Amino acid sequence: MGFADQRFNVNLSILFTELPLLERPAAAAAAGFTAVELWWPWVDSPTPEQSELDALRKAIQDAGVRLTGLNFYAGQLPGPDRGALSVPGEESERFRANVDVAAAFAESVGCRALNALYGNRVDGVDPAEQDALALENLALAARAADRIGAVLLIEALNKPESPLYPLVSAPAAVEVVDKVNAATGLGNARFLMDLYHLSMNGEDLPAVIERYTAKTGHVQIADNPGRGAPGTGSLPLEDLLDRLRKAGYEGWVGLEYKPGDRPSREAFGWLPEEARAVR
């Protein structure tokens, strides 16, 4: 096996960001990709104008690409925020306001995976209170995802870059996945296995793959150190993805790396053309 045997999509919130949002789907298509994913594009608004949603939908459809993953509103990302759903007050309310908007947009473009970032710890707030709020809001998000036939993704980040984010290991994220599934009875919460974040936490990646592939709904990659393209660091990404395939994972692999000091279109030389054009 190898990279050519995987199903890759490109994250338009970290690649092609030298272009305006509405030009990125076409740029990804020109680079040979048939699928893309996005963080919530409107960092200041969980409920953008319908005209903005329509414009992005049209850009995706006109480019002929498929949106395979979308984040719910998560605050300033990239930036200091790492989610909103566990933050009491205005931020969690903004997340709630976003849930149906994001789900409706995802349904309109055939997207069947919605990622809900947990949110940072907040000074002066009991972590148990945040966790209770998170479970309530994740259950709300899981039900919205279920209504459109989608999965809800829950992601572990890394402690060096996100020191206030509480889910900084695969077991911590999977524990939340299990709690959401128990709370809703829907079984549509899944682990988002980001190999870059897990490697930054020093986890045993082959062991994570062996233990958690069955609960994984999406995979993302970047090399480490540097969060660059495969081959710019020391992670054995080809081997790790082969392990995932052998463990039964057949889903998308999101390219969530930084292009470096070059245009994004030049950051895919490592990837065979046939692994980009997957229908």
Annotated catalytic sites, by residue?
155, 256
Sign of CA dihedral 267, 272, 275, 279: positive
Other beta carbons within 10 Å of 68: 23
Pair of tokens at residue 275: 């692994």
Pair of tokens at residue 279: 């229908």
CA atoms lying within 13 Å on the CB side of residue 78:
10
The beta strand positions in the chain, using DSSP E, are 7-11, 35-38, 66-71, 113-115, 151-155, 189-194, 216-221, 252-255
Distance of CA 181 to the CA centre of its chain: 19
